Amino acid sequence: MEVEDIMCDQGIMRTELSMEIETDSTTIITISATRFRLAITVLTRAVLPTVIQVCYKCLRNQKVVLDNVRHQIIPTIFAFLANNISRSLSSVQRGLFYPLLLRATITPSSTRDEDFPEECVDCVVLHEPSGSIVVDIIFIHGIHGSLQNTWKQGLWASDRNKIKKAVLERSQTSSELNRQLPNSPLKRSISDYSSLRPSKLSKLDSTSFNNNIEIDNEGLDDEFSKCWPKDWLSKDYPNARIISLNYSTDPYLWRPVWVKKKNRSGIPERSLEMIKHLVKLQVGRRPIVWVGHSKGGLYIKQIIVHAWEQNAEEMKYLYLQSKGIMFYSVPHRGSVLADITLPFLSRSVELLEVQRNGCFILDLHRKFLNMLEQSKINPEVFSFFETSLTFMSFVYLRIVAADSADAGVGEKWGVPLDHREICKPSSRQCFLYKELLRIIEKILC
């Protein structure tokens, strides 16, 4: 210490260190040399042995380290991947930090009592005829869907080879329609015979098959459609009112246990919200054509079944006027994707409702078929279902299996498209759109 004092007195060594930081005005921060040396010494003697000890224990206990990786780090990675998959279930892509940003933007005035589920349904009239309305066409999207993303024009036509090369046999499975049909590039058949199937709806005229559908259409329309129901149907049927029912989805289909769970309503409650919107628009005074993609088809069935069970004056015409239903890959018997369970993750109500062969979804389908059997309505029902796997972030999955997409009534047609593409016609000449036109035309004739 005496040597240091002498060196300091002679200016060889300073007791303070000066550090200049360039800002708008030069600021000098002075640090005592003794304190700086003491801090470095304490840090070195305290931290370095701990680091060495941790490394030594890791080398000596590799099994424990591997167990920690397997039980803690890997589940965290699975949580990240699972929620990426949940956000990819439709073309709606949400950022990783969307829930945090959403929570940050909520104001005190917009918060609700946690005991009551939040309202999540809105209704948009896409086209209102200038004259009298002859038919109402109602669209409902699926999980994580939206008006802008679910019903936009498809771009899959640029890869038409997968349709050109798909040669599947078209057949009728009903015993009353056993006439052999010619081969077609796509598979199309009457729904498989079932004891739950209404007998009066199994007798379909063979002329209902449109054998002249153009599969290999010539590219896209001149202008890309961001919403084909609004842009195309308003031209083909200007006297039709086109309505879109939209609902929000939990950002986390697989919610980590450390993220607070929201009180969200299920299909029955949301269907009541949809009915209120439709009654307000006086839907039911004219024929109705329903169009649903994925879970949207389940909402259609719930609305019709609820209107039939209640039989109230203001809503009974919602099922009496249901003349046509178009299902785009609807999981009538659930989806195996909803059966996936992961550690530290809980499934949202949106997934629990569509579990494979779940009690709720099977009971809803039984009521729907029972309603068709007992009621006086005889709607045109057509079901498209996917035969291609859907790319979900990092894996290919089959979201809705062929047997689950079978409504048990009407016609079905399997096409080599994935779950996102199945509801997006590539043009006004596309078979996905032409079949809908066929239903509307048959109703109006």
The answer on pLDDT for 55 being more than 70 is yes
Query: Using CB atoms within 10 A of its CB, is residue 195 exposed (0-12), middle (13-18) or buried (19+)?
Result: exposed
Q: At what angle do helices 359-374 and 295-310 cross, to 10 degrees?
A: 50
Which residues are bridge partners to 28 per DSSP? 20
Kindly list the domain boundaries of the chain, sorted by start residue: 121-178+223-444
Q: Which two tokens stand for residue 266?
A: 């299920």
Half-sphere exposure of 386 (CA within 13 A, CB side): 24
Give the SS3 label for residue 167: coil
pLDDT per position as a tens digit, 235-249: 999 999 999 999 988
pLDDT of residue 21: 47
- Full-model pTM: 0.67
Quote the CA–CA distance of 202 and 388 in Å, as a whole number: 28
Q: Are strands 411-415 and 380-386 parallel, antiparallel or unpaired?
A: parallel
For the chain, what is the mean pLDDT?
75
DSSP string over 326-344: EEES--TT-BGGGG---TT
What sign does the CA torsion over 103, 107, 110, 112 have? positive
State the Cα–Cα distance between residues 239 and 84, nearest whole angstrom: 42
- State residue 253's pLDDT score: 84
Helix (H) / strand (E) element for 133: namely: none
In whole angstroms, what is the distance from residue 427 CA to residue 232 CA? 9
> Rounded to whole angstroms, how far apart are CA atoms 436 and 149?
19
Per residue in 207-216, pLDDT (tens digit) is: 333 333 444 4
Does the pLDDT value for residue 93 go beyond 50? Answer: no
Q: What is the pLDDT of residue 52?
A: 76
Q: Does position 77 have pLDDT exceeding 70, yes or no? A: no
* Candidate ranges 44-48, 157-161, 399-403; pick with highest mean pLDDT: 399-403
Nearest Cα to Cα of residue 304 among 370, 249, 356? 370
Could you please report the per-residue DSSP string of 341-395?
A: --TTEEE-HHHHTTBTT-HHHHHHHHHHHHHHHHSS---EEEEEEE-S-EEETTE
pLDDT at position 194 over 90 = no
Taking 80 as the threshold, does the pLDDT of residue 444 lie above it?
A: yes
Mean predicted confidence (pLDDT) in 182-207? 36
Give the phi and the psi of residue 45 in degrees, each rounded to 5: -75, -25
Q: Which CATH superfamily is domain 121-178+223-444 in?
A: Alpha/Beta hydrolase fold, catalytic domain (3.40.50.1820)
Helix (H, G, I), strand (E, B) or coil at 296: helix
Give the best-scoring range by mean pLDDT among 152-156, 195-199, 214-218, 375-379.
152-156
Contact (CB, 8 A) for 153 and 309: no
Distance CA 363, CA 353 (A): 11
> For residue 259, what pLDDT band results from cuts at 50, 70 and 90?
confident
Mean pLDDT of 18-30: 51
DSSP symbol at 6: H
Query: What's the average model confidence in pLDDT over 351-375?
Result: 92
For residue 202, give the DSSP letter: S
* Residue 375: pLDDT band with limits 50, 70, 90: confident
> Is the per-residue pLDDT at 4 higher than 80?
no
Segment 99-138, tens digit of pLDDT? 433 333 333 434 444 556 667 899 999 999 998 999 999 9
Cβ atoms 362, 405 nearer than 8 A: no
pLDDT at 134: 96
At residue 143, what is the residue type? I
**How many CA atoms lie within 13 Å of 360's alpha carbon, on the beta-carbon side?**
16
Note the pLDDT of residue 272.
94
**Count of CB atoms situated within 10 Å of the CB of 388:** 18
Question: What is the mean pLDDT of the segment spanning 51-70?
Answer: 65
Residues present in the chain in total: 445
Give CA–CA dist 300/218, Å, rounded: 33
- What does the pLDDT look like over 283-335, one tens digit per residue? 999 999 999 999 999 999 999 999 999 888 888 899 999 999 999 999 999 99
For residues 424 and 331, give the distance between their C-alpha atoms in angstroms, rounded to a whole number: 18
Residues near 55 by Cβ (< 8 Å), separated by ≥ 6?
A: none
Hey, is 72 helix, strand or coil?
A: helix
